[in-house]
Structure 1
Amino acid sequence: MQGQSERHARTIRHWLLDYLRDDTLPFHRHGQTHSNVLDDEDISTHMQLKLSERVKDGKFIVSADVCDIVASAEMQEIFKSAGICKPSISERTARRWLNKLSWRYKRKHNGMYIDGHERPDVVADRVAFCKRWEGYEKRFVKFDNEGNELPHPAGFSIPGKPFRLILVTHDESTFYQNDQRRLYWQHSGTRAAPHPKGEGQSIMVSDFLTLDWGRLKDGDEEARVIFKAGKNREGWFDADDLLAQTDRAIDIFEGRTKGFAQGLFLFDNAPSHQKRAADALSARKMVKFAKPGWTHNNSGTRMRHGYYGKDKTLQDFYYPDDHPEKPGWFKGMEVIIRERGLWPEGGLKAECAPGFKCTPGRTDCCCRRLLFTQPDFA
């Protein structure tokens, strides 16, 4: 037929033959919804199950996997019971089926890191923190979503402290030289402009925030630090830098409140925020017996005095410099524990296993664990 394809002419011939043979006319389906094999719930459920099994095994789904599932004997039985004849499909059809089954070809996203969050010791620490927070919360002034101060509840009391508590949070952000907006409205005729490769140089901003005033500052004095991080620049922002900034932040807070409020400074658990003082007590590396020249860190700094008992009796961990046999020596864990009156008759090992791995819940299984749980070591 002029202006039509061969398929159109072939279809008309089929219609004519059907009419001459059976007196049947073609069924008009224009405007009706076309059914899909996957509209059958049994078929779509079985396909989803097979695809999910492959993902659980650590495999990546490809269109050929769908073709294999369709051609499998199990799937053909399901087709047969539904009155469907489909021995195979093309990979292009397989991709359409994947899309209909809500599978998308996209970049993998990282989820929240949760490993270890449910460990018994972590849960115990979290419960203890929440209890402490409940005590702090009674002294906070709260605000609604519009920034209006909420009234204190009836019977509001401040346990043992005359002033309100202001939460001061700390955070750090890094900005790069070539940071730019990637998604925005632009005219269709706009040409792509070249941009420098890489992130470029960076600056790190460390600052303190409050609900009451926003950024922590008093007049022209502010707690914010802008740091040019890098090997050939200002180095790296470490615990000493944070301590210096925190000292300045406390001075600004005191100047802003005139001593009529207390600040609760909140830091995240970044590694640089966990550094201990050079003379802090630590049982992790202590030796069991006396040893000359022993220190717990490379700086050679001695540990400060510990304490024990209800009256917090001070305890020096080193023999005096005029000791006749061990002048200035570290006493060792056994002597430290004996002086505290905690040494058991059966004695103690230095540690249960390398890496400070003790039975969960034990507090006196070895020298290291016993000292680790003492109040002055906390």
Structure 2
Amino acid sequence: MTLEVFSPDSASKTDSRTLLFDRPVHIFIVQKIRFCQHTDKSIIIMPQISKRKCQAVAAIKSRWSKKNNDQSDDVFNSEILINMHDFIGNNEEKDFLKNKFGISWREIDLFLKDIGRLSTETCNKWGTVLMEQDLEDFLEENRAGKHDQSFFDIYPELEIVAKLYALNACKRKSASFTCSELAEYVNDQYYELTGEVKNTQELIRSERACGLDLHRWGCKFDKNTAKPYWAGHERPDVVEARTKLVRNFLLNQDKYYRIGEGKDLQWNIPKKDATILICIDHDESCFRSGETTAKRWFYSDDTTSFFNKGRGRSLMVSDFLVAHPDNPFFQLSKSEWTAAVKKYPELLEDDGIQHIERSASGSIQVDSGGYFDNNAIISQFTRLFKMLPFKIAYANHKIHIIVDNARTHSAKYYSVEDFGMKPGTRCKIDKLCYKDKSSKQQTIDCFFTRRSQKGQSKGLLILAKELGINVPPNVKLEELKQLLSLHEAFKNISKLEMVANTYGVAISFSPKFHCELNPIEGLWAHQKQYVRRRTDQTFPTMLKLIQKSRTNFIEKMFR
């Protein structure tokens, strides 16, 4: 269907621009219209216009005059078009169409869409482009209603590789893919495919066209609501640690206490003839009170000031979550505690941590200068290791503790970073103690014990020679550290692991950037939500709510 526009005073005149409307473009210059059937065409006849449209009529007459016919086709008066919004927003025009022909304006619009013609909104858009903007924009490729051979119709193999590149780029964990990147890729592939020499800075396909291509291929540009991604998540050493940890639990899952799947959650008890393991998860979290005053004096609403968000006190909590049906939190009974204190009286001593009664769980008020550093962590775990043998429910069980891979947990007694390169430089320890490849214990002094250099540190260069490492001449410090880090003497375990080995407890560190693999994160989420919903921002109330949140966690999750 083709729509032609006629003027009452010059219906017989022909304009060179009418050639543009052989394609389905509809220009509405309407106040009140009626439809007439003329062969296979629908003719829109303009009625007598209102006084408000006098300027538009004058422009039309001027345009169709002999004088203007001699002018270039690029000369147009933007007043010829009456914005479609004037028609859409006029309820009288809608009623006229419905009352006169029994069809609503929206039904006509839907009909045009169904038969593949332009909708009224698109018609108004491209009509405005035609009259107010450049003709090249109106004639550009992929305009609605145009069916010229497209770029990818000429180069279909280029579309295949471009689409594959775009789909792979959309799967990136970092939201770095853009239309500009796709345009650059298509540009490079085009010149590689055709063999042409690039002599211009312009892209063979614009960013806007690439955006339309992405939509056509099924991609969409929407809000980035995915979970956070850490750059080191797929680092080779991290992937190896993650695979090792997950594989270990999958192979030994029947040896652990764990909650089964399904609607009726039940504990899966390990078989009696199997090695029974108890998994204990550990981590720290911080709670903060705003310390805002519930009420205050105001002179008027205009004098209301902001409250100080930095005001308040923080409490750092370090806890253990136990995968055992007895209790998700480790705590001794009174009789068990009495037996433990009898053997280890130091359990009653103050170590700077506010421990829960008969438990290793504790907290430190950060504002008072305390913090759960490596020394505090070692002290807390040592307390736990001493108490574990007295827990009757854990008798004849092996203990396996999962710890977050933070520096406060995984700190070692020494590393290559604690040594200088030359003699007399920094040195943290007196001796290197390690087991060689044949499992024999070896010891090397880190300080000179004879001659004039007695008491001075040897440095990494001399230690490397004593360890039998082939050091190239003029080696740099970073290269030397890399060589030494591969030797057994510097593959030492963490302080926490050394203490755990003393008490026969296994320690595993969760992979870096994988806090979701530590189940205790669910405990922190539950406790903080509980506190947040009930707090009045005072520190005493927060302390009470933290205790209540532990009880609520047991009731909600384990009962």
TM-score, scaled to structure 2: 0.41
Match status 1:246 vs 2:364: no
**Cα distance in 2, alignment partners of residues 271 and 138 from structure 1:** 32
2:427 aligns with one of 296, 302, 320: 296
Deviation at 1:39, TM superposition (A): 9.4
In the alignment, structure 1 residue 26 sits paired with structure 2 residue 101:
yes
* Preserved CA contact (<8 Å) 1:173 1:205: yes
Using the TM superposition, give the Cα deviation of residue 314 of structure 1 relative to its aligned residue in structure 2, in angstroms.
2.2
Q: Distance in 2 between matches of 1:38 and 1:372?
A: 70
Q: 2:433 aligns with which of 287, 295, 305?
A: 305
CA contact (8 A) 2:321 2:328 kept: yes
Question: Match for 1:127 among 221, 243, 255?
Answer: 243
For 1:185-204, what aligned pairs fall within 5 Å after superposition? 196-198=307-309, 200-204=312-316
1:228 and 2:365 equivalent? yes
1:319–1:331 Cα contact (<8 Å) kept: yes
SS class of match (2:382) = helix
* Paired residues, number: 280
**Offset of residue 285 of structure 1:** 4.8
Deviation string, structure 1 residues 83-128 (Cα, Å, up to 9, x no partner): xxxxxxxxxxxxxxxxxx9877x8x768422312222333233333
- Do 1:174 and 1:203's aligned partners in 2 also have CA atoms closer than 8 Å? yes
1:142 equivalent to 2:277? Answer no
Q: Which runs of 5+ in 2 are unaligned?
A: 1-29, 38-44, 47-96, 119-132, 148-218, 293-303, 334-356, 492-559
Distance 1:318 1:117, change over 3 A: same
8 Å CA contact 2:254–2:270 kept in 1: the answer is no
Q: CA 1:332–1:37 in 2, change beyond 3 Å: closer, same or farther?
A: farther
Q: TM-score, normalised by structure 1?
A: 0.57
Q: Secondary structure at the match of 2:489?
A: helix
Per-residue CA distance 1:167-189 (angstroms, 9 max, x = gap): 11012222221399xxxxxxxxx
> Highest relative contact order (Cα 8 Å, sep 6+), 1 or 2?
2
1:251-266 residue pairs with structure 2 within 5 A? Answer: 251-257=386-392, 259-266=395-402
1:253–1:79 Cα change, 3 Å: same
Deviation at 1:214, TM superposition (A): 0.7
The alpha-carbon distance between structure 1 residues 13 and 129, as it changes in their structure 2 partners (threshold 3 A), is closer
Q: Identity rate of aligned residues, in percent?
A: 17
322, 345, 362: which one aligns with 1:210 = 322
Structure number having the greater helix percentage? 2
Measure, in 1, the Cα distance between the counterparts of 2:480 and 2:377. 34
On the 8 A contact 1:318/1:328 being kept in 2, the answer is: no
Structure 1 residues 373 and 127: alpha-carbon distance in aligned structure 2, compared to 1, 3 A threshold: farther
- CA distance 1:367–1:14, shift in 2 (3 Å): closer
Query: 1: CA distance between counterparts of 2:316 and 2:458?
Result: 44
Structure 1 residues 255 and 343: alpha-carbon distance in aligned structure 2, compared to 1, 3 A threshold: same
Deviations 1:42-84 (A, max 9, x none): 99xxxxxxxxxxxxxxxxxxxxxxxx9xx944768522428xx
Q: Aligned equivalents of 1:349 and 1:42: distance in 2?
A: 79
CA distance in 2, matches of 1:76, 1:207: 64
8 Å Cα contact 1:169-1:210 kept in structure 2: yes
Distance 2:437 2:319 in 1: 40
Q: 2:419 aligns with which of 266, 269, 286?
A: 286
CA distance in 1, matches of 2:111, 2:364: 61
From the superposition, tell whether residues 167 and 174 of structure 1 become closer, same or farther in structure 2 (CA, over 3 Å): same
CA contact (8 A) 2:374 2:411 kept: yes
Residue equivalent to 2:185? none
How far does residue 372 in structure 1 lie from its aligned partner after superposition? Answer: 1.1
SS, match of residue 381 in structure 2: helix
Give the drift of 1:216: 1.6
**In the aligned structure 1, how far is the partner of 2:116 from the partner of 2:274?**
61
Taking the aligned partners of 1:334 and 1:141, their CA distance within structure 2 comes to 50
Give unmatched runs, 5+ long, in structure 1.
1-10, 44-67, 83-100, 159-163, 181-192, 357-365
Does residue 325 of structure 1 match 2:455? no
CA separation in 2, counterparts of 1:36 and 1:302?
89
- CA RMSD after TM alignment: 4.7
